[in-house]
Structure 1
Amino acid sequence: MSQPYLSATGMRGGYGKADILNGCDLTVEKGQIAVIVGPNGAGKSTAMKAVFGMLNLREGAVLLDGADITALTPQERVRKGMGFVPQTHNIFPTMTVEENLEMGAFIRQDDFRATMEQVYQLFPAVAEKRRQNAGELSGGQRQQVAVGRALMTRPSLLMLDEPTAGVSPIVMDELFDRIIEVARTGISILMVEQNARQALEIADIGYVLVQGANAYTDTGPALLADPEVRRTFLGG
């Protein structure tokens, strides 16, 4: 068995003395879309923050491409190949779209214009507004800018915290289509989503968290077909 590209095992931790994660495990293979779903307060976003190093673990380990990165800062993890798009405050609203993307390339010493063109090809609506301030865009377009900015670091693992929060169903479908396109280039995706049913439809693997622990782990289609998962988490 080859090592998963991301392997986060036995994660236990939280804020202050209270543990929110209680032995949570997450693995993502190269080019896979992994989706974390579950009820409010289940620890979904906390699990992602732990993977990115924004939360100190009391127990557990995070490995990326076989290397133990548990002790690394978020900045160091970005240099190792992690990209993270938070749910809110994920763009610079007073900067243009192009300046936002340039900010995403802050760790690069090479010519990043080819990557910027790839982002514009992936998100044509963003390309049209490259000279506009990002704060003037619609919610869905701002999310595209945020994802594009993360892609400017050329990540091998892209983490998205609630990428479709607050957008219309049409925009959600479009964002999911773009996420599939990103995964097809070999980038691994780890995503937290409230729109569980739609997210599991595109998931290679799904994790249902309850109280900071794995309640169900399976392929997206298998979880969608599981009567207990449907009844408890997907509204029947």
Structure 2
Amino acid sequence: MSFLEAENMTGGYGAADILHGCTLKVEKGQIAVIVGPNGAGKSTAMKAVFGMLKLRGGHVKLDGEDITTLSPQERVRRGMGFVPQVNNVFPTMSVEENLEMGAFIRSDDFRGTMEQVYDLFPILKEKRHQNAGELSGGQRQQVAVGRALMTQPKLLMLDEPTAGVSPIVMDELFDRIIEVARTGISILMVEQNARQALEIADQGYVLVQGANKYTDTGAALMADPEVRRTFLGG
């Protein structure tokens, strides 16, 4: 059994289904990447896993527990962390206050976790008293990821973490994501930069119209001529 099992997810908004039997699995400490064309249902699949979209079919299990009917807040308490693509920081709060907000569910001393976040993202320690809204796009993404890590998640979900950042910042963010996975945290990530994302992926999912088109290791998908021609630009 995989650490995350989201099987045969079917659902959407209103009467129309966007997901059609979509299945996503992530092992402990793995990086799993969801790619595909615009409108393929990638972000919708993430929201379904996190409980922001009620499923009409299928189920979601985390570490063997069926969490299909749990709210997003309850899923956070079970070990899910979610970083949305936009509006993912409190712009009028300092970096440190943003991180403290991430520890809202904890009753223990979270200072050690904050130091781990600062070790992972040294620029955040340097700017910890600065308002998050004054930071660059890449730095704000680091704040958003750091805040999610403050909950001590077992599964970290990232919706297009490199959207709108420079190639250099993208490479740096991917390096940090690899470091997070090496600590044993599972990563599920939607990414528009498909080629770069599959390079770091243990597992890859290509979605088309809300369904699994290709599922394989990141390396195998990169080597697949059809995937390369259709989704990776040759």
- In the alignment of these two chains, the number of paired residues is 234
Name the counterpart of 1:180.
178
Matches of 1:19 and 1:193, distance apart in 2? 22
Q: State how far apart, in whole Å, the 1-side matches of 2:35 and 2:16 are.
A: 21
Task: State how far apart, in whole Å, the 1-side matches of 2:31 and 2:14 are.
Answer: 32
2:29 aligned residue: 31
Partner in structure 2 of residue 9 of structure 1: 7
> Which residue matches 2:66?
68
Aligned counterparts of 1:215 and 1:67: Cα–Cα separation in 2? 27
Q: Give the distance between the partners of 1:76 and 1:197, measured in 2 at CA.
A: 34
Q: Structure 1 unaligned runs (5+)?
A: none
Query: 3-state DSSP class of the match of 1:232?
Result: helix
- CA deviation string 1:193-219 (max 9, x = no partner): 000000000000000000000000000
Q: How does 1:96-111 map to 2 (within 5 A)?
A: 96-111=94-109
Residue segments in structure 2 that go unaligned for 5+ positions in a row? none
Question: Offset at 1:133?
Answer: 0.2
TM (normalized to structure 1)?
0.99
* 2:64 alignment partner AA: G
State the identity as a percent.
85
| CA distance in 1: counterparts of 2:125 and 2:192, whole angstroms | 28
Q: RMSD value over aligned CA atoms?
A: 0.3
Alignment correspondent of 1:197: 195
Q: Name the residue aligned to 1:130.
A: 128
> What residue number does 2:156 align with?
158
Q: Does 1:224 align with 2:222?
A: yes
Q: Report the Cα offset of residue 126 of structure 1.
A: 1.1
**Counterpart among 59, 63, 69 of residue 57 in structure 2:** 59
Residue 98 (structure 1) shift? 0.1
CA distance, structure 1, for counterparts of residue 176 and residue 89 of structure 2 = 18
The CA distance in 2 between the partners of 1:145 and 1:8, in whole Å, is: 28
Separation of aligned partners in 1, 2:8 and 2:220: 24
The secondary structure found in structure 2 opposite 1:91 is coil
AA in 1 matched with 2:161: P
Alpha-carbon separation, structure 1, partners of 2:137 and 2:211: 32
CA drift of 1:229 comes to: 0.2
After TM superposition, the runs of 4+ consecutive aligned structure 1 residues lying more than 2 A away are: none
- Give 1:127 deviation, angstroms: 1.0
